[in-house]
Structure 1
Amino acid sequence: MRLAYQYKLLPTTEQKAELNRWLDMLRHQYNWLLQDRFDWWERNRCDINACPLICHLPSLRAHPDYYSQKRSLVQLKKDRPWYKDIYSQVLQNCVDRVKLAFDRFIKGDCNGNRSGKPRFKGKGRYRSFTYTQMDMDCLKGNRITLPKFGDVKLILHRLIPDGFDVKTAIISKKADGWYVTLTIQSHAVPDIAIDIIPTWENSIGIDLGLEKFLADSEKEFEPIPQHFRKSEKKLAFLQRKAAARKKKSRAKNRQYRKVARLHQKVARQRKQFHFETAKKLLNKADVVFVEALKVKNMSRRAKPKQDETGKFLPNRQSAKSGLNKSIADAGWSQFNEILSFKAERAGCLVIEVDPRGTSQHCSECLNRVPKELRDRWHSCPHCGLELDRDTNSAILIKKVGLGVSLTIKRSKRTSSERSPRCTA
């Protein structure tokens, strides 16, 4: 079992300066390695049989792969002796990050999804470094020993469980200070094997929304807190105040630090709310059925519209921007990740179901009942069922998770043709 514990560091003024110096040197090395890969890729990415007939053929050079860039660190320390102050594994991890960013751009991840072109890190944009191996006794009281750096004071708000070994440590700089994230592992504690058969009694379905954060199949609701919306006025005030300061001045930087701390507070409030809501759900049932939402697609910009002359027509992008902001404020993706994490720790099960049709059908008779987005009440003309729209969707999500099929082909039939085929 692997876990991650995060602690707040309390470095001295000299240690803060040294940590910032490490980050700045690592940032320069990251940019240099990334530029080296870009230079090779731009010159050699075209096959020789696909080149134009008349072109300049540069001299071929070896591909700067993961191992060659690691070997270049030896020469780096000879040319720039101040890089010897950085622990060797921290420097090697910088090469790992360049490889990961470039591979996701060229090849994509395990699912074939490619990321955008990696960007060079500007000043203040490289905020963390990693110790890939840590000693067993790196924690001594309220201090942690970092290789080639020394002892740093921390707030040990919880102890490392017995039987767990510290594997890695990530030192990160955030808006309110420095933090260390320890990855701990224990082979004595096996991963929990979840063997639960979903039934109507031990399961629950939830429907995520923006009017209310979620509605479950037991007709209970969780109000949406809207942490960002509540802090929007204060955030706008701080940003206007920072914009009025002189460029690159100390006062301007101080105001932008206040903006960053407010964003951090909102993110922490949202995360705490997600953990508390997930705990409430897992106390109700052993199996939770959730929608397999594609939040990235739901929060895309509206497509532009043009007439015959090429003039752009109104596409309601301003209204879509407000909807996208509310979706980001709700944090559906983060909530699903937290719910799955806590369910695994609690020995429960989270199952994603296809949400297609769950808002356009009746949960009682399964007949199609079309509704617009503004319609918040479900009223079925076939069986007379009336209840909240989100509650109806939550019950349908539970039924779909337990085996009821709602297909697009069936939804196009008339109710008389469809009713005999519906089974609960």
Structure 2
Amino acid sequence: MILTWTYLIRPTRAQHRLLEAALERERQLYNAALEERIGAWRKAGKSITKFDQMKSLTAIRSDDPLGPGAGPVTMGRWTLAELDKAMQSFFARVKKGGTAGFPRFRSYARWRTFGLAEWRGIRITGDRLSLKGFDRPIRINMHRPLPLDAVPKRASLTRKGRRWFLNIAIETGAVIETHSGTGGAVGIDAGVESLATLSDGIKFLNAQPGRRNAAAMTRAQRALARCRRGSRRRLKARARLARLNERVANARATHLHKVTAVAARFYSTIVVENLALRNMVRSAKGSVEKPGANVKAKSGLNRSIHDTGMGKLIQLLTYKAERSGGRLIKVNARYTSQDCSGCGARVPKTLSVRTHSCTACGLVLDRDWNAARNVLARGLAKASEGV
């Protein structure tokens, strides 16, 4: 498995400046490489590949040792690879017929990460990080050791506000912590009222960090809107808003990690719904000719769905189930809340109805619990078919 482990680093003031310089250097390389691709296509109809630009990088590093040549060669390769991924994603969207979204030049505010495409030019010794181009090692907060069989593949450094983080992509064995197997198979219904309802009746509540910090976020956004662009006051207001956003994201991620860790540890087979989240959070505004209905209610529902982090929940379950030696199955989510888990009869109900009452067999239980039982049944059927 390829996993990413993140650590807080504690650079000195001088090292802060070196990190900022490396970040700016790679941002300029990214923009120059994008400009080269655009110019080559407009002037000669020629497509420049990642490998063409990596060949040119060698000459550029020799001509400008204080620019792209100041850092390890793998640093520039990482930047060019990021641009290539952005271009490939653009072509994939064009092929699908969706909104294309051509890659744009990165401003200072939109470039927060630089990295190394290979584990070269970087070394970790104890709680010190040695990086080529730095006068001395950077202190790193090794709050947990890497797995014994971990093979570092690449790394990146990310600036979040005033802090810097090291992200290490490691290759490790699939089974890191084995599940107890006491729970067997379980179906999980992800929702807004409860983050996850299990087929055995257990519920995990939503942390709702966005709702709890909504008032502070609104004040910070209004303060930012009142500031004059380019002023120091605006920079401070933007940093204050960024810290609030980071606090909300960290609280949500911590809660999701705790919930998914419990599920992966105690259940050998996990069945979840294959949710089309993009459709679920689609705006109800409509158009001028055909305005939508219940726009305000749908907008609130969309905020609640984003606040729960359903997509992140399934993403974490996917790799944690594999890491613990278990299995994750995705099933069609259609009618899981409407069908009766006791007899299979369809019982239509609106979203506001939170209790499932079957008129055919008389089964009465919580709506989400009924859905989780249906999810489990579909997963076991799918597993028995060998799909």
TM-score by length of 2: 0.88
Whether the aligned pair in 1 keeps the contact of 2:113 and 2:158 (CA below 8 Å) is yes
- Distance (whole Å) between structure 1 residues aligned to residue 100 and residue 45 of structure 2: 26
1:167-182 aligned at under 5 Å gives the runs 167-182=153-168
Whether the aligned pair in 2 keeps the contact of 1:227 and 1:266 (CA below 8 Å) is yes
Task: Tell me, yes or no, if structure 1 residue 154 matches structure 2 residue 132.
Answer: no
- Distance (whole Å) between structure 2 residues aligned to residue 268 and residue 145 of structure 1: 28
Which of these residues, 77, 89, 100, is aligned with residue 74 of structure 2?
89
Q: 1:137 to 1:201 in 2, by over 3 A?
A: closer
1:297-312 aligned at under 5 Å gives the runs 297-302=279-284, 304=286, 310=289, 312=290
Which of these residues, 347, 364, 387, is aligned with residue 365 of structure 2?
387
- Distance (whole Å) between structure 2 residues aligned to residue 288 and residue 174 of structure 1: 34
Whether the aligned pair in 1 keeps the contact of 2:347 and 2:358 (CA below 8 Å) is yes
Task: Tell me, yes or no, if structure 1 residue 131 matches structure 2 residue 116.
Answer: yes
Which residue of structure 1 lines up, in the alignment, with residue 174 of structure 2? 191
Q: 1:395 to 1:107 in 2, by over 3 A?
A: closer
Decide which moves more: 382-391 or 144-153: 144-153
Q: 1:112 to 1:313 in 2, by over 3 A?
A: closer
- Distance (whole Å) between structure 2 residues aligned to residue 78 and residue 334 of structure 1: 43
Q: 1:234 to 1:396 in 2, by over 3 A?
A: same
Which residue of structure 2 lines up, in the alignment, with residue 73 of structure 1? 57
Which residue of structure 2 lines up, in the alignment, with residue 15 of structure 1? 15
- Distance (whole Å) between structure 2 residues aligned to residue 283 and residue 97 of structure 1: 35
Whether the aligned pair in 2 keeps the contact of 1:219 and 1:391 (CA below 8 Å) is yes
- For structure 1, the 5+ residue unaligned runs are 44-57, 405-424
Q: Compute the displacement of 1:282 (Å).
A: 3.3
SS at match of 1:15: helix
Matching residue's letter, 2:18: E
- Distance (whole Å) between structure 1 residues aligned to residue 259 and residue 162 of structure 2: 26
SS at match of 1:222: strand
Q: Compute the displacement of 1:5 (Å).
A: 2.2
Q: Deviations over 1:259-301 (max 9, x none)?
A: 1111111111111111111133234432121111011111111
Q: 1:108 to 1:20 in 2, by over 3 A?
A: same
Q: Compute the displacement of 1:327 (Å).
A: 0.7
Which of these residues, 151, 156, 160, is aligned with residue 165 of structure 1?
151
Q: 1:204 to 1:246 in 2, by over 3 A?
A: same
- Distance (whole Å) between structure 2 residues aligned to residue 369 and residue 401 of structure 1: 21
1:163-312 aligned at under 5 Å gives the runs 163-186=149-172, 190-192=173-175, 202-302=184-284, 304=286, 310=289, 312=290
Task: Tell me, yes or no, if structure 1 residue 34 matches structure 2 residue 34.
Answer: yes
Which of these residues, 361, 365, 372, is aligned with residue 350 of structure 2?
372
Q: Deviations over 1:390-409 (max 9, x none)?
A: 111111111122229xxxxx
Q: Deviations over 1:157-193 (max 9, x none)?
A: 222333433332211111240111122335xxx4349
Q: Compute the displacement of 1:136 (Å).
A: 10
Q: Compute the displacement of 1:109 (Å).
A: 11
Decide which moves more: 80-89 or 356-365: 80-89
Which residue of structure 2 lines up, in the alignment, with residue 117 of structure 1? 102
- Distance (whole Å) between structure 2 residues aligned to residue 68 and residue 215 of structure 1: 51
Q: 1:314 to 1:286 in 2, by over 3 A?
A: closer
CA RMSD, aligned part only? 3.0
- For structure 2, the 5+ residue unaligned runs are 383-387
Aligned residue pairs, count? 380
Whether the aligned pair in 2 keeps the contact of 1:107 and 1:114 (CA below 8 Å) is no
SS at match of 1:213: strand
Matching residue's letter, 2:57: L
Which residue of structure 2 lines up, in the alignment, with residue 422 of structure 1? none
Decide which structure has the larger Cα Rg and report it.
1
Q: 1:304 to 1:23 in 2, by over 3 A?
A: same
Matching residue's letter, 1:85: A
Which residue of structure 1 lines up, in the alignment, with residue 87 of structure 2? 102
Decide which moves more: 326-335 or 143-152: 143-152
SS at match of 2:153: strand
Q: Deviations over 1:27-70 (max 9, x none)?
A: 122112112222333x3xxxxxxxxxxxxxx6x36532222222
Q: 1:36 to 1:316 in 2, by over 3 A?
A: farther
Which residue of structure 2 lines up, in the alignment, with residue 353 of structure 1? 331
Taking only the aligned residue pairs, the percentage that are identical comes to: 30
Q: Compute the displacement of 1:331 (Å).
A: 0.5
Whether the aligned pair in 1 keeps the contact of 2:174 and 2:325 (CA below 8 Å) is no
Q: 1:351 to 1:175 in 2, by over 3 A?
A: same
SS at match of 2:108: coil
SS at match of 2:3: strand
Whether the aligned pair in 1 keeps the contact of 2:112 and 2:159 (CA below 8 Å) is yes
Q: Compute the displacement of 1:230 (Å).
A: 0.4
SS at match of 2:147: coil
Which residue of structure 1 lines up, in the alignment, with residue 385 of structure 2? none
Whether the aligned pair in 1 keeps the contact of 2:265 and 2:324 (CA below 8 Å) is no
Which of these residues, 321, 343, 346, is aligned with residue 343 of structure 1?
321
Whether the aligned pair in 1 keeps the contact of 2:121 and 2:132 (CA below 8 Å) is no
- Distance (whole Å) between structure 1 residues aligned to residue 65 and residue 281 of structure 2: 48
Q: Compute the displacement of 1:257 (Å).
A: 1.1
- Distance (whole Å) between structure 1 residues aligned to residue 262 and residue 252 of structure 2: 16
Q: Deviations over 1:219-244 (max 9, x none)?
A: 22222221101001011112222333
- Distance (whole Å) between structure 2 residues aligned to residue 237 and residue 211 of structure 1: 26
